[in-house]
A and B are shown apart, each in its own frame.
Chain A
């Protein structure tokens, strides 16, 4: 019996020296990584058209070091602020931030809302696993009320963020949410987000079986994906549902897709005028 080795179709996007992953078995990161790379491929772009920026936490490992591209792995919470400078210096490049809910909404929440307010052209993927995974299962601003974590041993006393509503209030021009149960939808949304001339934000609920699955009792990776499948309801269907019906559901889909002035473009106009005077 012979064994044939096949190369994964996305291998060409992976940094040759990146031979290992920091992700646990069953982690959702791989699903999002593939969705992003497929979107880039389907758009006919290459990784040289991008600069990837990540913060600290498990999700930051998606582009760093794996994507064979320019990658800046920044300090905790600050990737969007770093990305702002990169985009100002390289306006022709696609700047993509991939980071976690703790990185982007807790320690980095200020940068998230201000980048959305500025409507600076960049794509932000926020991997929401509802917990601090890398440090061992502490409560996050996205952890459900009542959940026992290592820092909320008597149950989480705080309400979680609705991140998409937060970013909507701040003024982003493209906002969507999917789960790792929706890889095909993710590819379609990623393509739109990358092409958006403005701040494009995609929240991706992603299973952390080791920390969230275990502590919530939802279970392993497969059980968590089943849970996402059961709990998800599209934005179109959610319109006809009552708040009571929606209270423990995950509304998925594209929430915002509007045209509004974009920062880098506006600055370009100011610059051209100043240089001509």
Chain B
């Protein structure tokens, strides 16, 4: 392995390892975490690899401290991340809100497991897909990506860092226990071919008393610590200079809207979907590991002459509502496949209505994969 940040080449790799390698390739040099199944291998790999890269891994006393240290390191100028699972994210949510409010670039990987509560650690469930969007208190926008293969775990982790840096915001990667522990082929490009985005920095020899550093829809330059910018960074309601204002509802209105619009205004730059639904009457909408079942069902269905298509949500947040609406114009019926009791389903339904029918299809047993035959049976029923 040596001390190369980018392990260029063809690998047979576990999803969690690909996640750590994606982070290193993207320039992550600080990670903090707390052991939790099924995410621990991400931390283990980073602990092994970061020192050779001149970076630091810290195992903190809990997940609250982990995300706090990540945010601190990001203000210290480092690209930083943490990897955890549902219970860990639940503990982190207050400080993820802090990262949103202070516009701190960082990456949070949730290798989703069976919940609620302690649930089943090593069984996959897409149970935490709304959590990033609404889990922290208050009103905000978040970015969350959902890889569906080990290759995508690598690619989306790189992308997550780039989006975090571009928009000065926390970004989620929603992996799961299947992807985390599955081994697949991964192609890691030459270092020069890895797309890298870096945060816009505050101009040297200026301080935040004279230049705005926050609340710009087009992303304010970041007054990273240690460079004499004298930045006052607070997650309490503040203005563009970081000056706290906790007495004026008008200031709160600006605070919420600017942070919201920073993501909403640029949603076309962020949202990614993959459509294989040309001329399809019935389309399977899915994301994450469930996409693999949808893919298999489309292949088998087409072989028997069913007019089936697939539509993959690479980005869950911001939600690809316009893309779903456009799909609903063309298709007759959408099936939303999720390994839960219907979370993204409601968002798809709202975006598609009233253009076409939308129904929800969970696996027969939550935590297991959808059977291809179950999917095809549902499709045939809708057609008849």
Contact = CB atoms under 8 A, between A and B. Distances in A.
Interface in A91-140: 92-93, 110-111, 114
Given A16-B209, A47-B230, A93-B225, A73 B65 contact: no
A72 B72 contact: yes
Given A73-B233, A85-B69, 5 more contacts: A82-B72, A85-B80, A88-B76, A89-B226, A271-B52
A16 B243 CA distance: 11
B295 interface: no
Interface string A243-277: 00000000000000000000000010011011101
A89 B30 contact: yes
A81 interface: yes
Interface residues of A, number: 40
A194 B235 CA distance: 27
Question: What is the interface of chain B mostly: helix, strand, loop, or mixed?
Answer: mixed
A166 to B, nearest CB: 15
B72 A270 contact: no
A161 interface: no
B144 to A, nearest CB: 22
A82 B78 CA distance: 13
A15 B230 contact: yes
Contact of A81 (B52, B64, B241): B64
Q: Give the one of B69, B73, B75 with max A CB within 10 A.
A: B69
A108 to B, nearest CB: 9
Which of A47, A51, A72 has most B Cβ within 10 Å?
Answer: A72
Given A15-B232, A71-B233, A86 B225 contact: yes
B56 interface: yes
* Of B94, B225, B241, most A-chain CB atoms within 10 Å: B225
B119 interface: no
A74 interface: yes
Contacts of B244: 65, 73
Interface of B: 3, 30, 32, 51-56, 58, 60-62, 64-65, 68-78, 80, 94-95, 98, 102, 209, 223, 225-226, 228-236, 241-244
A48 B205 CA distance: 12
10 contacts: A16-B209, A65-B243, A70-B75, A70-B225, A75-B68, A84-B60, A85-B30, A85-B58, A85-B71, A92-B226
A216 to B, nearest CB: 29
Given A72-B72, A90-B76, A275 B231 contact: no
Listed residue (A47, A64, A81, A273) with the most chain B CB atoms within 10 angstroms of its CB: A81
A200 interface: no
A75 B80 contact: no
A162 to B, nearest CB: 21
B56 to A, nearest CB: 5
A86 B233 contact: no
Contacts of A15: 209, 230, 232
A269 B77 CA distance: 21
B61 A90 contact: no
B49 to A, nearest CB: 9
A85 B72 contact: yes
Nearest to B3: A275
B72 A89 contact: yes
